[in-house]
Amino acid sequence: MNNEWTYWPAPAKLNLFLHVIGRRGDGYHLLQTVFQLLDWGDEIALRTRADDRIERSDGPQAIPVAQDLTWRAAMALRKRTGTQRGADIHLHKRIPIGAGLGGGSSDAATVLVALNELWSTGLTRDELAEIGVGIGADVPLFVRGHSAWAEGIGERLTPMTLPQRHYAVVDPQVHVSTRDLFAAAELTRNSRPSTISGFLDGTLTANAFTPIVRARYPAVAAAMDWLDGYGEARLSGSGGCVFVALDSAEQAEAIVKACPGEFRAFHATGVNHSGLLDCLGRYRNAAA
């Protein structure tokens, strides 16, 4: 079974708010945010090899293999465990690059979780998350697979059960540089720390990057202005995608259909439990 292609989801996420509350001595920013997992995202096909090579057979042409987080995740897992097993990686990319939806981090997490199973390396979820934070701050979220309140650089997670909402997500089709946003002089880095209860009372919806992205990326500002006609348009993470929360799938689908041609849009439903963990459970049951 391990020599056949297996297929694993890599779900996207939204940041329902995001504040920067300080900076560590090493330059990393301290955040507070709520991660909402979605039922939509990338798909990764994996197949173990008879040799020890790790090959990305398909993936984004704009990202060299050595910089691809799926390849880096596989290499990091092998280094940590000492396994000599190889793998083929085929990435079907749906999540836009630079969108603030966690695509690269989710892809890396899926490779860690799935190859840990396929290679029988036996690491715990905590150990996989520890590897993941060295690849990207959001990787532990996807490894643990639950919507969460996050602090630190995004790796300190408190699982949350969020009410089900539907989201219309609009992609202005621009790549937003996370590095540039964090380096921006106008970024507010001293927001007052909040609490989970402060989020639950509905007062936390702002994203610290919104004014910077609006000023630097006119297409994102235009998408937000258009989406504001249907509710409170919010920026996700440090990317270019914007979204609005809705009560029904019908509302979200209507917005998607009305989306102007210069943008792309999709409807996704918020989930508390990652489809990746559901897939892992099905794989184990089939292998038993």
* Domain boundaries, given as residue ranges, for the chain: 1-288
List the beta bridge partners of residue 7: 45
List pLDDT tens digits, range 102-159: 999 999 999 999 999 999 999 999 999 999 999 999 999 999 999 999 999 999 999 9
The residues that are catalytic are: 13, 138
- Quick check: 280 and 11 in contact, CB under 8 A? no
Read off the pTM. 0.95
Could you give phi then psi for residue 111, rounded to 5 degrees?
-65, -45
Instruction: Kindly provide the b/e burial profile for residues 10-34, where b requires at least 16 CB atoms within 10 angstroms of the residue's own CB.
Output: bbbbbbbbbbbbeeeeeeebbbbbb
Residues of the chain with pLDDT under 70: 1-2, 59-62
Predicted confidence at residue 62, as pLDDT, reads 67
Question: Alpha helices, DSSP H only, in the chain?
Answer: 69-81, 103-118, 125-133, 139-144, 178-183, 196-200, 210-216, 218-227, 249-258, 275-287
Predicted confidence at residue 288, as pLDDT, reads 80
Predicted confidence at residue 2, as pLDDT, reads 54
Predicted confidence at residue 59, as pLDDT, reads 67
Looking at CATH, the fold of the domain delimited by 1-288 is given as Ribosomal Protein S5; domain 2 (3.30.230)
